[in-house]
A and B are shown apart, each in its own frame.
Chain A
Amino acid sequence: MASQLPPKPTPQHSTATAGGMAESGHYRPRGLMRWLLTTNHKEIGTLYLLFSLTMFFIGGIFALVVRAELFQPGLQLVQPEFFNQMTTMHGLIMVFGAIMPAFVGLANWMVPLQIGAPDMALPRLNNFSFWLLPVAFLLLLSTLLMPGGGPNFGWTFYAPLSTTYAPPSTSFFILSLHLAGISSILGAINIIATILNLRAPGMRMMDMPLFVWTWLITAFLLIAVMPVLAGVITMMLMDINFGTSFFNAAGGGDPVLFQHLFWFFGHPEVYIMILPAFGIVSAIIPTFSRKRLFGYASMVYATAAIAILSFMVWAHHMFIVGLPLVAELFFMYTTMLIAVPTGVKVFNWVATMFRGSISFEPPMLFALAFVVQFTVGGFSGLMLAIAPADFQYHDTYFVVAHFHYVLVPGALFAILAGAYYWLPKWTGHYPPLRLSQWHFWLSVIGVNLTFFPMHFSGLAGMPRRIPDYALQFADFNLASSLGGFLFGASQLLFVLVIIKCVRGGEKAPAKAWEGAEDLEWSVPSPAPLHTFETPPTFHPREH
Chain B
Amino acid sequence: MRRLLVWMAGGLTLAALNPMALANGWNMPEGVTALSRDIYSLHMIIFWICVVIGVIVFGAMFYSLFRYRHSRGAKAATFHEHTSVEVIWTAIPLLILVAMAVPATATLKTMYDASEADLDVMVTGQQWRWRYDYLGEDVAFTSNLGTPREQISGTSEKGENYLLEVDEPLVLPVGQKVRLLLTSDDVIHSWWVPDLAVKQDAVPGFVNENWVRIDEPGIYRGQCAELCGRDHGFMPVVVEAVEPERFEEWMAQRKEAAQQEAMSADREWGLDELMARGEQTYGAVCAACHQPDGSGSPPAFPALAGNQALLEEPDRHISTVIDGVAGSAMPAFRNTLSPVEIAAVVTYERNAWGNDAGDSVQPSEIAERLAAQGE
Contact = CB atoms under 8 A, between A and B. Distances in A.
Interface string A257-280: 000000000000000000000000
Interface in A65-115: 73-76, 80-81, 84
A467 B154 CA distance: 14
Interface residues of A, number: 103
Residue of B24, B109, B186 most packed against chain A (CB within 10 A) = B24
Interface residues of B, number: 111
B228 interface: yes
A323 B203 CA distance: 12
A154 B204 contact: no
B223 A389 contact: no
B168 to A, nearest CB: 19
Nearest to A388: B107
B152 A255 contact: no
A368 B71 CA distance: 17
Contact of B90 (A328, A344, A379, A475): A344
Interface stretch (B94-102, B277-285, B350-358): B94-102
Contacts of A75: 152-154
Interface in B73-111: 74-82, 85-86, 89-90, 93-94, 97, 100-101, 104-105, 107-109, 111
A295 B8 contact: no
A353 B24 contact: no
A309 to B, nearest CB: 13
A463 B225 contact: yes
B296 interface: no
A339 B93 contact: yes
B260 interface: no
Contacts of A456: 26-27
A291 interface: yes
B152 A74 contact: yes
Contact of A84 (B24, B76, B85, B227): B227
A358 B86 contact: no
Given A249-B205, A470-B164, A475-B21, A355 B223 contact: no
Given A249-B205, A320-B199, A322-B203, A165 B39 contact: no
Contacts of A543: 81
Interface of B: 1, 5, 8, 11-12, 15-16, 18, 20-21, 24-29, 38-39, 42-43, 46-47, 49-50, 53-54, 57-58, 60-61, 64-65, 68-71, 74-82, 85-86, 89-90, 93-94, 97, 100-101, 104-105, 107-109, 111-112, 127, 151-154, 158, 160-164, 182, 186-188, 190, 192, 194, 197-201, 203-206, 208-209, 222-234, 297-300, 326-329
Given A148-B300, A255-B206, 18 more contacts: A73-B158, A74-B153, A75-B154, A81-B230, A249-B205, A250-B204, A322-B208, A332-B105, A339-B97, A340-B93, A356-B74, A358-B64, A359-B71, A388-B107, A394-B190, A395-B192, A472-B21, A543-B81
17 contacts: A84-B227, A152-B230, A161-B188, A165-B329, A320-B199, A322-B201, A336-B100, A350-B57, A357-B75, A358-B64, A358-B68, A359-B70, A387-B108, A388-B104, A391-B197, A459-B28, A471-B20
Interface of A: 73-76, 80-81, 84, 147-148, 152-154, 158, 160-161, 164-165, 167-168, 249-250, 253-256, 289-298, 320-322, 325, 328-329, 332-333, 336-337, 339-340, 343-344, 346-347, 350-359, 368, 371-372, 375-376, 379, 382-383, 386-389, 391-392, 394-396, 438, 445, 449, 456, 459-461, 463-472, 474-476, 478-479, 482, 486, 543
Q: What 3 A-B pairs have minimum CB-CB distances, sorted nearest first?
A: A249-B205, A466-B233, A472-B24
